[in-house]
Amino acid sequence: MPSPYRALFAAPGSKRFTAAGLLGRMPLSMMGIGVVTMVSQLTGRYGLAGALAATIALSAAVAGPQVSRLVDRYGQRRVLRPATLVSLLAAALLLLAAHYAWPDPVLFAACVGIGCVPSVGAMVRARWAALYRGTPQLHTAYSFESVIDEVCFIFGPIISIGLSTAWFPEAGPLLACCFLAVGVLWLTAQRATEPAPHPRERQGGRTALAAPGLQVLVATFVATGAVFGAVDVVTVAFADEQGHKGAASVVLALYAAGSCGAGLVFGLLRFKGAPEPRWLLGICAMAVSMIPLLLVGNLPFLAVALFVAGMAVAPTMITTMSLIEQHVPRAQLTEGMTWVSTGLAVGVALGSSVAGWVIDAAGADAGYVVPAVSGAAAVAVGFLGYRRLSRPAPRRGGTVGQHGEREERHMA
């Protein structure tokens, strides 16, 4: 591991909360694709499979920011454990309903409950921010976390799809639940690195989403999430049409591997100037990388195209996290990060659902139109909101760090 990454772990407890965060984030890449694989195997209905995955994502989009807002106020341990319990009970209901072919409304109701799953990635990033706020190490930490995200997306689909196709259909989502339980319990047991809650912070009843810059980031990532959701569902269907459904996990892993490699390199770089142009360039690169998928004809070509497309993902996500710090106060940092994840979740829901219906109607080849159109929409939103994103937020008092310093002086 290059020395800047090695230096991150000089902070006591950083290795442990990183490991716990890795386990707790595995369901992020396993649950949705696991539900698609499970339901498509049990029923053969990709439309239903995509709609269920979309329901999980939409539910998480509604519940996630509220969970994170409570975390900012009361702390990670007090909030994450009960929220995770609700999600796990709902997941158990989904597995039973799918196995015994219960009516579709039961499946959808269970997926709504699964959406209470906490944003573990935001929780870990908040711990890094508490350790390295205002230092160059925070850029490296965010880069490392993006790499961890991609590691999850490399191995998560392989494990989930592989178990569900080789063992039994429910195996992938079941293991995702185990990862979630262990990861959250282990993370919340580490009190020394838990960011201090802000129970007395007065935000005038406003959420972090009131920041105009954050609104632009969230809106853009709705379209970006649609890219991810559509790519997952269409790739599984395309591999199925090619007679190699299990290979979908390998192809999707290469998509994440491209992002992982780019994220590692990006974390070693030190940039001068404002991050907004780099962010917009990343959004454009992600959109352009979807065009070759329209010409896909076989799995090897698809694997190469997705690997190249993945190279634009992690750098864009890393820059996004830096921008969030500039547009929300310290007391709402976890909530702000979760709102971006919420935008992605909404997009994943839309992308997977639309892609599922397109596949049912016109086949997997036509399905790749969905991520291409979604990428173009992300670019359009990025350009339309660019001025709001690059404009300082005077009501915040500048950066998050500056806001926090004034709060600390006031409290003193």
Give the pLDDT score at 274: 77
Residue linked to tokens 């993945």: 310
Rounded to whole angstroms, the Cα distance separating 278 from 274 reads 8
Average pLDDT over residues 228-239: 85
DSSP string computed for 212-247: HHHHHHHHHHHHHHHHHHHHHHHHHHHHHHTT-GGG
Does pLDDT of 99 surpass 70? yes
- Is the pTM here over 0.85, yes or no? no
Question: Helix, strand or coil for residue 257?
Answer: helix
pLDDT of residue 403: 36
41-92 pLDDT, tens digit per residue, is: 888 777 788 788 878 877 887 888 888 888 888 888 889 999 999 999 999 9
Reply yes or no on whether the pLDDT at 158 is more than 90.
Answer: no
Has residue 397 got a pLDDT over 70? no
pLDDT (mean) for 242-252? 80
CA 258, CA 316: separation in Å to the nearest integer?
Answer: 13
On the question of pLDDT at 285 being above 90, the answer is yes
CA 64, distance to chain mean position in Å, is: 11
Q: Give the pLDDT confidence of 345-372 residue by residue, as tens digits.
A: 778 778 877 888 888 888 888 888 999 9
CA distance to 33, 189, 222, 262, per residue, from 359 (Å): 16, 44, 21, 31
Q: Could you read off the pLDDT of 365-380 as tens digits, one per residue?
A: 888 899 999 999 999 9
CA dihedral 177, 183, 186, 187 (to 10 degrees): -130
- pLDDT range class, residue 404, cuts 50, 70, 90: very low
Q: Which of 94-98, 134-138, 214-218 has the lowest mean pLDDT?
A: 134-138
Q: Say whether pLDDT at 410 is over 50.
A: no
**Residue 96: what pLDDT?**
93
**Cα of 80 vs its chain's centroid, Å:** 17
**Per-residue confidence band for 391, with pLDDT thresholds at 50, 70 and 90:** low
The one-letter amino acid code at 111 reads C
Q: What is the pLDDT of residue 136?
A: 77
What b/e readout covers 210-235, taking b as 16+ CB neighbours within 10 angstroms? bbebbbbbbbbbbbbbbbbbbbbbbb
Asked if the model's pLDDT at residue 200 lies above 60, the reply is no
Mean pLDDT is lowest, of 105-114, 383-392, 399-408, for 399-408
Q: Which amino acid is at 150?
A: E
For position 91, what pLDDT does the model report? 93
Q: What local confidence, expressed as pLDDT, does residue 376 receive? A: 94
Query: What's residue 401's pLDDT?
Result: 37
- 114-152 pLDDT, tens digit each: 988 888 888 998 898 888 877 778 878 888 887 887 778
User: Which tokens sit at 359?
Assistant: 């596949």
Q: What mean pLDDT value characterizes the chain?
A: 81
Q: What is the separation of C-alpha 258 from the centre of its chain, rounded to a whole number of angstroms?
A: 16
Average pLDDT over residues 389-399: 50
Q: Which token pair is 384? A: 């339309």
Q: ∠367-354-376 over CA atoms, to 5°?
A: 70
The domains located in the chain, with CATH, are: 13-190+208-407 (1.20.1250.20)
Higher pLDDT, 372 or 295: 372
201/368: higher pLDDT: 368
Q: Give the DSSP letter of residue 206.
A: -
Q: How far apart are CA 355 and CA 34, in angstroms?
A: 16
Q: Residue 396: what pLDDT?
A: 42
Stronger pLDDT, 149 or 392, i.e. the higher one: 149
pLDDT band at 409 (very low <50, low <70, confident <90, very high): very low
